[in-house]
Structure 1
Amino acid sequence: MKKLLSLLCLILTLSSFAFSQNIEENFKLALKEKDKNKKLALYDQIINAAPEFASAYFNRGIIYLSNKNWAEAKLDFKKFIVLEPKKLEGYINLSVAFYESEDYLSALTYSEQALKLNSTSIKALKNRVMILEKMNKSQDAITEISILISVNNDPELKLLRASIYENLGKTKEVLEDLNKYLEVMPGKNIIRYKRANILLKSDNLTEAINDFIFLTKDGNDYKDSFKKLGIIFYKLKDYSKTTQYLEQHLKSNPSEIDSLQICADSYIYLNNFEKVLVIYDEILKHDETKVEYLLKKAEVNK
């Protein structure tokens, strides 16, 4: 009898070991898998087989976040913090799920729980600042992030503060933070483009030109930088440069009527009426309703 019991215990131990190994193997497979749906299927299998496997809930929750499935993400991160109550990331991601679903009060609650675990966590503090801003507590958000910036030189914090200043309509402060960010991250074209447009709107044309030229240095029209350069030089009455940059822009946007119109007007100032007629024909080709250009053509041909 004792031998039988020992044999049964051995079989159970081996089965448990094999079961654990199988779960671990599936977890490793899920980590390596690139396809989100296949990853989710593997995490589902793991959780069904081992409902206390905390990391599977966490990783599945991250996928739900990336899929904008906020409800499922909340359930997984709630389960994760029950299983791992001292893990900061669970509270932060649960806060993010509530933030994205616009439940800012719940988002703030879990953000504060994260900060109780680690009051100096940059990620948790940034999360709290973003929530405060959404709760129309922008000044509180500015105060908190400014304190954070004073002890941490992370350029992303300056970028976050710039976005809050922008919502408050404080252009000078926005530009100061964007300038500091780009000193550290000069290759971030999307931020340089943002700064260039703010400079353009505030009529700081010389600095805007510098940024847009930087964005087109490789010959590519980053977003619409060639067009913006054309518009700036038109404002400055430098019609030669206006046409130079607008024609670059029109290579990839040949049917853009407003750019064609500014280009034609610039050629009129340059007394290049042959070019004007070509552009008028181009406008009519793309928009037959622009009958006024038939009259303009007649005027030019006189």
Structure 2
Amino acid sequence: MKFIQSFILLFLISNSVWSFQVSNSNQAFELGMLAFENQRWTEAQSFFDQWIQTHPTDQEALWLRGQAFQNQRNFDRALSDFSSLLTLNPGYAEALFERGRVRYQLQQYEEAMSDFESFLKTPPGETTRILFKIAPGDNAVSSVTTAQTASEEDAYYHLGLCSIELEEYDFALLYLDEAILLNPSMADFHAEKGRALARLGDNVPAIESFEIALQLDPDHLPAKQGLALVKTGGDAIFQEQLNQVIADSEGNSQTYKQRGFYRMNHQDISGAIEDFSIAISMDPEDSESYFYRGKIYYRQKNWGKAEADFSDAIAIEPENPDYYLARGQSRYVSENLEAAVADFTIVISLDPEFASGFYHRGITYQRMGKLSDACPDLLEAKNLGMDEAGKAREKVCK
């Protein structure tokens, strides 16, 4: 009799525990969602673990748990969840995008590119899907949005990032330009374009890209760092890498140009001239090498050689106002004033918002004694934000 009573009691207890577990399992998804929405990633993952044990093909649970792993920087487990989800549903566009980002973090750049390209070919899913946007390489959650935030420009941006890591900088520029065309207000897009341009040795447009990024976001740290490195030619480690490439006889015109730019900004004038000259001999169609060498000759007060180099740069790239400005300055200091005015006038025609063009034409007119022409130019330069022009006008135009 006691045995039967004990058996009945054990059965009731077991049944109660089983009922409690079933109830817990049924609530696990809702509890996981609540934890997920409050960014309690470990807790959310634990609840989704329970749910997925009994619902291994639940796509939404795999999607959310994958993001929970991603936010814990457990990229291997996130990759596993997104891959399982895509096996169940190859058309789950947002999972393609997120798997691409996870693969980028795992340095699987070619596989990541494949995911981003597939994402671009796949229509986005329901806008009720939750997506936490995280900057590449950063664990900070920047915003919580619907899944449609994983947009075309984001995919092109990440394709650009992967191409930079693969040292395919020309392709990176194509992807980043596409991202910028779709959304020109993203500082990240312009900063990464600057990075790709700097790696190619195209320092002037790289500086422009970094400056655009800083106009959009004055606190954008990568843009600040990139701008500082480009303006100084890179750091010492970068210089050593260039030296090694050249020593191994693997250097091309860009390598010499980059080292020349570094040397120019670290007062190794003869070394910089030598590097730019080699770069020109290897690629006589690269206008920047002439421009930089011309700037060194200008510093040396070798006006004739400076003007010749600036003229060669202009012949290759006749729409660049910086080149005309540089040649005009060289002509000004060598007292070829009429020719200087002609160059500054071209600067203004190419870029009517370029304050320096009006300023330099104004001071050239002033030196020629043409105050009626000088004063309007100096006023225009002042109105465009150039304080130095306002001071000059105070002295010249009273």
Please give the TM-score of this superposition, normalised by the length of structure 1. Answer: 0.49
Please give the TM-score of this superposition, normalised by the length of structure 2. Answer: 0.38
